[in-house]
Amino acid sequence: MASSSMQQQQPGSQAPQQVPITIPTMTGNIFPTNDGVKREVTTVNASSNSKPERLVEIKYSNVRVVGNGSFGVVYVARLCDESGEPIAIKKVLQDKRYKNRELQIMRKLEHQNVVKLKYFFFLSHEPKDDLYLNLILEYVPDTVYRVARQYAKQRQAMPNIYVRLYTYQLFRALAYIHSIGVCHRDIKPQNLLIDVETGVLKLCDFGSAKFLVRGEPNVSYICSRYYRAPELIFGSTNYTNSIDVWSAGTVLAELMLGHPIFPGDSGVDQLVEIIKLLGTPTREQIQQMNPNYREFRFPSIRAHPWSRVFRVQTPSEAIDLVSKVLEYNPAGRLTPLQACTHSFFDELRNPNTRLPNGKPLPPVMDFTKHELTIEPHLNAKLCPQLAGNSTAQSSSAAETDAGSVASPPTPPSAPADVTQSSALAGETEANSATACEEK
């Protein structure tokens, strides 16, 4: 799991309140596990992420640290049950005065491209009597960051089919969380979990996420460097979900370039990098990003042609998509679902498309009833079966890009000691037979 800063109380957030928390007992004993080897087994009473909530005894072993930072620590472990399923455990310090925003948000999320919260529990630690929240999450073996870095080390471009597949699922995840009012606020390759065998992507780490409320101010110093939308750099506190769309656009550009498109050691430095490509923002564009910004001293720089930014063999559709999400005006950027309908993703709508390993694509058109209510006018394009024209549209896209995916390098494999749960690829929103599936 990737890291993010511990969520701080935001202006306008609810007042401090005493949170009723049940502190479970935690034991550690040596028991034979499923493979017959004696290992230390940790037993906790955890709350299930289900309705109604219920207390469940959880046993796990093989605990090892896979990430840490100011936010807390992330572990990988294995459940001591018949499944032996790997899990991720995110442990964060809990302020007893407040409810935990990350937990509140994760309990509302149910989507195949969002990492699933299975259980959670609180533990108190001596000597300061600190309280820690532990989130037990589904485990996904790799990240877009690590896979992209492997390609970069080999001086190879990530195959277009993977760029399409990963960014499409990212936009789909954003469409879902935005539809229920959640802004992630820390989209970056490290927070995009993937199973390289199935091609499934899951958005993770909601430690910086927030339900955005119109008129309620938010902190502008949010989101990781390289991926921050320009309105954040301009100090806007009334931004919208479109900051996630900008970040997704920078991820798309990075996968095609092999390196971050807007590197910078500071906000000013990063703004300079953005201006080098997009040109100097007009007074009107600055007002669109932050109406309260009053300093307009910028050198006049013309926009750099997008076609000169990327490799010659980069699909023109990809460049067009980048140009429509990396836009100064937040309201002028595509919505996540509009991005999903872009022609760059037409190959994914072709039922004959396969992964380079010969396996079928993971489900990309199994839209839930909820998803089909977000922007209904886009449904025919999102799910071509509804219009009966999927074959004509997608076969053309496949032929256009056939050369780019003929013999792509095999993606780096996941660590051998942990395998992915088979439930990943088939997970869908409960009781949500979709119009696409019914067709």
Would the pTM of this model clear 0.85, i.e. be above it?
A: no
- CA gyration radius, the chain: 22
Flag whether pLDDT at 23 surpasses 60.
Answer: no
Question: What single letter denotes the amino acid at residue 280?
Answer: T
The SS3 assignment for 64 reads strand
DSSP letters spanning 373-424: GTSGGGHHHHSGGGTT-HHHHHHHHHHHTGGGGSSPPPPPPPPTT----TTT
Q: Where do you find CATH 3.30.200.20 in the chain?
A: 26-138
- Annotation says 366 is catalytic: no
- Reported residue count of the chain is 439
Flag whether pLDDT at 321 surpasses 90.
Answer: yes
Per the prediction, the chain carries an average pLDDT of: 84
The closest of 132, 45, 142, 37 to 86, measured between CA atoms, is: 142
Flag whether pLDDT at 408 surpasses 50.
Answer: no
Flag whether pLDDT at 7 surpasses 70.
Answer: no
Of 21-25, 145-149, 364-368, give the lowest mean pLDDT range: 21-25
Confidence band, pLDDT 50/70/90 cuts, at residue 418: very low
Confidence band, pLDDT 50/70/90 cuts, at residue 386: low
Q: Is 91 annotated as a binding residue?
A: yes
Of 296 and 401, the one with more pLDDT: 296
Which CATH architecture best describes the domain 142-412? Orthogonal Bundle (1.10)
CA distances to 105, 126, 232, 325 from 330, in Å: 24, 47, 11, 9
Give the pLDDT of residue 35: 53
Q: Where do you find CATH 1.10.510.10 in the chain?
A: 142-412
Q: Does a cis peptide bond (omega within 30 degrees of 0) precede residue 52?
A: yes
* Phi, psi dihedral angles at 338 (to 5 degrees): -60, -40
Flag whether pLDDT at 437 surpasses 60.
Answer: no
> Residue 38's Cα: distance from chain center in Å?
37
The closest of 120, 194, 167 to 420, measured between CA atoms, is: 194
The SS3 assignment for 312 reads coil
Average pLDDT of span 308-322: 96
* Phi, psi dihedral angles at 73 (to 5 degrees): -135, 145
Cβ-based neighbour number of residue 144 at 10 Å:
25
- Residues 193 and 138 sit within 8 Å (Cβ to Cβ): no
Confidence band, pLDDT 50/70/90 cuts, at residue 432: very low
Confidence band, pLDDT 50/70/90 cuts, at residue 96: confident
Sequence-separated (6 or more) residues with CB below 8 Å from residue 112: 200, 363, 366, 427, 428, 429
Average pLDDT of span 294-304: 86
Scan for tokens 């994760």, then name that residue.
106
> Residue 399's Cα: distance from chain center in Å?
30
Identify which of 161-175, 260-274, 378-392 has the greatest average pLDDT: 161-175
Distance between start and end Cα atoms, the chain: 36
Flag whether pLDDT at 424 surpasses 90.
Answer: no
Of 142-151, 361-370, 423-432, give the lowest mean pLDDT range: 423-432
- Strands (E) located in 108-177: 117-125, 130-138, 142-143
Sequence-separated (6 or more) residues with CB below 8 Å from residue 178: 241, 244, 335, 336
Residue-wise pLDDT for 353-377, tens only, equals 999 999 999 999 999 999 999 999 9
Average pLDDT of span 99-114: 96
Average pLDDT of span 330-342: 98
- Strands (E) located in 80-189: 86-93, 117-125, 130-138, 142-143, 182-183
Flag whether pLDDT at 20 surpasses 50.
Answer: no
Flag whether pLDDT at 166 surpasses 90.
Answer: yes
Of 45-54, 304-313, 329-338, give the lowest mean pLDDT range: 45-54
Q: Which two tokens stand for residue 216?
A: 């309620």
Of 181 and 424, the one with more pLDDT: 181
Which helix (H) or strand (E) segment holds residue 436: the answer is helix 435-438
Determine the topology of domain 26-138 in CATH.
Answer: Phosphorylase Kinase; domain 1 (3.30.200)
DSSP letters spanning 343-380: GGGGGGG-TT-B-TTSPBPPPSS---TTGGGTSGGGHH
Residue-wise pLDDT for 199-244, tens only, equals 999 999 999 999 999 999 999 999 999 999 999 999 999 999 999 9
The SS3 assignment for 137 reads strand
- Residues 210 and 269 sit within 8 Å (Cβ to Cβ): no
Alpha-carbon distance of 218 to 159, in angstroms, equals 38
- Residues 401 and 315 sit within 8 Å (Cβ to Cβ): yes
Which helix (H) or strand (E) segment holds residue 282: the answer is none
Of 58-72, 259-273, 353-367, give the lowest mean pLDDT range: 58-72
Average pLDDT of span 2-31: 43
Flag whether pLDDT at 349 surpasses 80.
Answer: yes
Alpha-carbon distance of 263 to 228, in angstroms, equals 10
Per the residue annotation, which of 186, 205, 244, 346 is the catalytic one?
186
Sequence-separated (6 or more) residues with CB below 8 Å from residue 286: 234, 293, 296
Q: Does a cis peptide bond (omega within 30 degrees of 0) precede residue 127?
A: yes
Give the pLDDT of residue 429: 34
- Residues 120 and 46 sit within 8 Å (Cβ to Cβ): yes
Residue % of the chain over a pLDDT of 70? 78
Average pLDDT of span 312-324: 97
Confidence band, pLDDT 50/70/90 cuts, at residue 420: very low
Confidence band, pLDDT 50/70/90 cuts, at residue 385: confident
Give the pLDDT of residue 125: 76
200 bridge partner residues: 195
